[in-house]
Structure 1
Amino acid sequence: MKKILVIEDDRIYQKILLKALINHFSHIEFEVIETYAEIKKIINSKKRFDLVISDINLPDSSGEHIKDLVNAHYKVVVMTGLNDDTFRDEMFAFDIVDYIIKSELQRFGYLIKLIQRLDANESRSILIVEDSKPVRSFYKRILEKQNLTVYEAEDGQKALKIISEESIDMILSDYNMPNMDGMEFLKELRVEYSMLDLPFIAISSDNDHATVARFLKLGANDYLRKPFGKEELICRINNSLDMLDMLQHVKESATTDALTGMHNRHYLYEIAEKIMAQSKRLDYPLSLVIFDIDFFKKINDKYG
């Protein structure tokens, strides 16, 4: 993420907000404007920003500018002092990135965390497994607003093929699908990938608590019961990605040599089993190369 547009007409609030953002994101360029007229000029000039953070009420707008920004394909985070569920739903109907109540910003902590998440999501991918094309398109539209690369599959079998060919960080899967349903897909997935390796969020309209328990016991990281709102989906996805980042950082610290940055033997023990399982499943040969370094103890004693 390189450029963010901030739209705020309150000069005092604008100054405090900008200071907090610059302190946390020195690599990002921020531009500030205050009116709907300035927004129209930016839209007409086709100037692009990676994210727009906008107040609802401006001197010449009572929120109309949000729709214009979204229609011009800007990713918009709405900030407002209005805590109203109906208005909130109207904003999410415009496909905004998020909706933040100013009184709940807690010194901008949530906004800063959101920008960090959106920035990190540029290198993250998610696989949507759902047999209904309109539903897949609905999920895809929401998740692409979160800066995620989105892959699609209509059943578990096609999903497994995509996973073997692409780098996937998370799975969002429906339960009831033809050929291979979500539960069978999860069983196959967990043979090779742990909950840490590849988080799995199950989706179903099934209200049976036993179904939820079965998914969780099979290795689902989370469960979403239909119907759910856009905001809940966004929160669940981003919370799971936050947890994935944290656990992978801990794992990397345990399997990587701090001095050289190279993987240690703990990593070899873990990855070898997965590579062998994948080799057997895809029926391709494996080779192993071993290097014997002379006087390694002296090197280790000197350099660690």
Structure 2
Amino acid sequence: MLPKLLLIEDNPSISKIQRHVALRIGYHVDVADSLAAAIDLIEVNDYFCAVVDYVLPDAPGGEAIPLTIGASIPTIVMTGKLDDKTRDTVMRYPVVDYITKESRQAYLYLETQLKRLPRNEDVRVLIVDDSKNTRNYIKNLLLRHKYLIAQASDGEMALEQLEKFDDIKVIITDNEMPNMNGTALTSKIREKFNSEDKVIIGISGTDDNRVSANFLKNGADDYLRKPFYPEEFYCRVSQNLDMQENIATIRRQANSDYLTGLPNRRYFFEQASNLLKRQKFAHQVAMLDIDHFKAVNDNYGHDAGDLVLKEVSRLFDTMFGKEHLIARLGGEEFAVLFKDEQHENNQRLLDQFRDTVSQLEINHQQETLKVTISIGAIVQDTQNIDELLKPADIYLYQAKEQGRNRLIIGS
């Protein structure tokens, strides 16, 4: 279901731009050109967030802001006024942000905020501070932006929270705390997690510049001195999360096959080596190959071949990708390394996959394409992935030699 956005704006040209931005992101948009119209819409709709003009014909002093805030709607204020009095009036309310309508950049910034709000619902932030008032203040700032919250009163409790919540992506930690201070906590976290896994933002009320340096040297990504402006706080959190997500995207692209989206050969070998070292039991691996794939390309064209690869990969990911290590090794060849010792169950799953592929009907232009797949598998106690794949490849070759569309399990 699309999130609902309420635009309160009396200028048709501006509301048109705002609506275009929101629709492009994926919001369902309602537009109110007055306070009265906004009241009517709020009475019959639940809104994910609102973008509110400061000056309206029937609300010239920002009266629409307490309307949406009072209805528990996260609110972004857009205003053409730049004076301090307007800013102070806006910031008396727990708004998500305020944006001045002074340039094209304002609408790019609005787009950034509207994109991030839905994503924030999956981001947990750990607040670490021995002051309950400070924790509550930061918590309330973060809740405006729909973040999930975890809290700790010192470094030792923070480490317990990290064990409890595996979805913590940001740690905001004070330095001056009992038991374990912020810089020691930062160093401890970095023993296990890098910046791609957890963002750490240090905070402190001290005037000692060495504190910020110590935080950064111990692995923090950023630092804020208390008291800080809410706008600066939000920008620092958002920018660090954006950087974390950009790095994750680059990593995902480096580890994924460009055509199918499956993990690629490089990722498979890297993860398989780590898995075999951690899990001390006999593992099962399977090599899978689409039968007569060259004939598909020759007879129907490479776009048909690509479609076959995508459809088989989609099924492959659905049946194996959630629990086991899979990859497209190259061309029409795939591999799966099972992460458990349920060898008989895994063999049945492999044969079920083979049978399901044989029943696939792939529509391409005016043709219905059908393919089969051959599988070779082996169970062996080794920490070397090559020692698993080589015999599995031999049994795959035997499956091809014996008529294709079959599974051969080696011993």
Q: Normalised by the shorter chain, which TM-score bucket?
A: 0.7 to 0.9
Deviation for aligned residue 1:42: 3.8
Structure 2 counterparts to residues 166-185 of structure 1, below 5 A:
166=165, 167-185=167-185
- Is 1:256 aligned with 2:256? yes
- Is 1:4 aligned with 2:33? no
Unaligned 5+ runs, structure 1? 277-284
- Is 1:114 aligned with 2:113? yes
Q: Do the aligned partners of residues 77 and 294 (structure 1) sit closer, same or farther apart at CA in structure 2, a change above 3 Å counting? A: closer
Deviation for aligned residue 1:204: 0.5
Secondary structure of the 2:151 match is: strand
Q: Do the aligned partners of residues 230 and 107 (structure 1) sit closer, same or farther apart at CA in structure 2, a change above 3 Å counting? A: closer
Which is higher, the Rg of structure 1 or of structure 2? 2
Distance in 2 separating the partners of 1:290 and 1:169 = 33
Distance in 2 separating the partners of 1:229 and 1:271 = 47
Higher percent of residues as strand: 2
- The more displaced of 292-301 and 133-142 is 292-301
Secondary structure of the 1:108 match is: helix
- Is 1:217 aligned with 2:217? yes
Distance in 1 separating the partners of 2:288 and 2:12 = 66
Deviation for aligned residue 1:301: 5.1
- Is 1:151 aligned with 2:160? no
Deviation for aligned residue 1:175: 0.7
Structure 2 counterparts to residues 30-45 of structure 1, below 5 A:
30-43=29-42, 45=43
Deviation for aligned residue 1:200: 0.1
Paired amino acid for 1:64: E
Query: Which residue number in structure 2 is paired with residue 50 of structure 1?
Result: 48
Unaligned 5+ runs, structure 2? 292-327, 334-411
Deviation for aligned residue 1:91: 1.3
Deviation for aligned residue 1:107: 6.6
Distance in 2 separating the partners of 1:272 and 1:232 = 43
- Is 1:244 aligned with 2:273? no
Secondary structure of the 1:262 match is: coil
Deviation for aligned residue 1:18: 1.8
Query: Which residue number in structure 1 is paired with residue 125 of structure 2?
Result: 126
The list of structure 1 runs, each at least 4 consecutive aligned residues, that deviate by more than 6 angstroms after superposition, is 270-274, 295-299
Tell me if the contact between 1:131 and 1:154 (Cα under 8 Å) persists in the aligned partners: yes
Query: Which residue number in structure 2 is paired with residue 67 of structure 1?
Result: 66
Paired amino acid for 1:303: E
Tell me if the contact between 2:75 and 2:97 (Cα under 8 Å) persists in the aligned partners: yes
Residue deviations 1:111-147, cap 9 Å, x none? 1111111122122111111111121111111111112
Tell me if the contact between 2:290 and 2:332 (Cα under 8 Å) persists in the aligned partners: no
Secondary structure of the 1:106 match is: helix
Query: Which residue number in structure 2 is paired with residue 293 of structure 1?
Result: 286
Distance in 2 separating the partners of 1:37 and 1:213 = 52
Secondary structure of the 1:240 match is: helix
Distance in 2 separating the partners of 1:55 and 1:8 = 5
- TM value normalised by structure 2: 0.65
Residue deviations 1:215-258, cap 9 Å, x none? 11111000001111111111111111111110111111223344
Query: Which residue number in structure 2 is paired with residue 302 of structure 1?
Result: 331
Secondary structure of the 1:170 match is: strand
Deviation for aligned residue 1:181: 1.1
Q: Alignment length, in residue pairs?
A: 293
Distance in 2 separating the partners of 1:182 and 1:255 = 34
Distance in 1 separating the partners of 2:52 and 2:79 = 8
Deviation for aligned residue 1:210: 1.7
Structure 2 counterparts to residues 79-98 of structure 1, below 5 A:
79-98=78-97
Aligned-pair identity in percent equals 30
Tell me if the contact between 1:17 and 1:108 (Cα under 8 Å) persists in the aligned partners: yes
Distance in 2 separating the partners of 1:107 and 1:33 = 20
Deviation for aligned residue 1:39: 2.6
Tell me if the contact between 2:172 and 2:203 (Cα under 8 Å) persists in the aligned partners: yes
Distance in 2 separating the partners of 1:128 and 1:289 = 43
Deviation for aligned residue 1:162: 1.1
Secondary structure of the 1:53 match is: strand
Distance in 2 separating the partners of 1:161 and 1:268 = 33
